[in-house]
């Protein structure tokens, strides 16, 4: 069972104010074999990345982990095993931003090939 926090209207407005306006950046990452801690997004110096949507497409069964600099539970944006020739779309109702400035959005894959597209912005 997955527990989700229910946010009040005030919490949502505060989060929106914190993450700032959307200015439309897209980052892509392609792979052909196993990857470890590969960089998807390097924000400009002093900035944080903000992720609003992730699309992942794989050609073979593969475990994909997308995370904020460190592959630790608190920093994972997505982790899952995808079946061959599948696509998953992960929208964030409340955009996910990096914990601190100057952190990279990274990916680790178990094998196969595929691509990741990330939509968001920097602040």
pLDDT value of position 63? 95
Question: Could you say which DSSP state residue 11 is in?
Answer: H
Q: Report H helices in 20-85.
A: none
pLDDT value of position 93? 81
Q: Is the pLDDT of residue 6 over 80?
A: no
Half-sphere exposure of 84 (CA within 13 A, CB side): 2
Q: What percent of the chain has pLDDT over 90?
A: 64
pTM above 0.75, yes or no: yes
pLDDT value of position 72? 86
Mean pLDDT of 59-76: 92
Cα–Cα distances in angstroms (integers) from residue 77 to residues 8, 9, 10, 99, 118, in the given order: 22, 23, 24, 12, 11
Neighbours of 18 (CB within 10 A): 12
Higher-confidence position of 119 and 6 = 119
Higher-confidence position of 93 and 34 = 34
**Domain boundaries of the chain, sorted by first residue:** 20-122
User: 20-30 burial, b for 16+ CB within 10 Å, e for fewer?
Assistant: eeeeebebebe
pLDDT value of position 15? 61
pLDDT digits (tens, 9 = 90+) for 16-66: 555 555 567 999 999 999 999 999 999 999 999 999 999 999 999 999 999
* CATH code of the region 20-122: 2.60.120
């Amino acid at each position: 069972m997955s527990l989700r926090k229910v946010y009040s209207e005030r919490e949502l407005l505060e989060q929106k104010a914190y993450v700032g306006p959307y200015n439309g950046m897209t980052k892509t990452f392609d792979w052909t074999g196993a990857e470890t801690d590969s960089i998807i997004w390097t924000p400009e110096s002093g900035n944080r990345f903000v992720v609003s949507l992730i699309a992942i497409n794989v050609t073979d069964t593969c475990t994909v982990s997308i995370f904020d600099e460190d592959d630790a539970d608190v920093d994972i944006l997505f982790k899952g095993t995808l079946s061959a020739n599948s696509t998953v779309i992960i929208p964030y109702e409340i955009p996910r931003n990096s914990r601190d400035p100057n952190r990279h959005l990274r990916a680790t894959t178990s094998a196969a090939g595929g691509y990741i597209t990330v939509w968001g912005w920097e602040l």
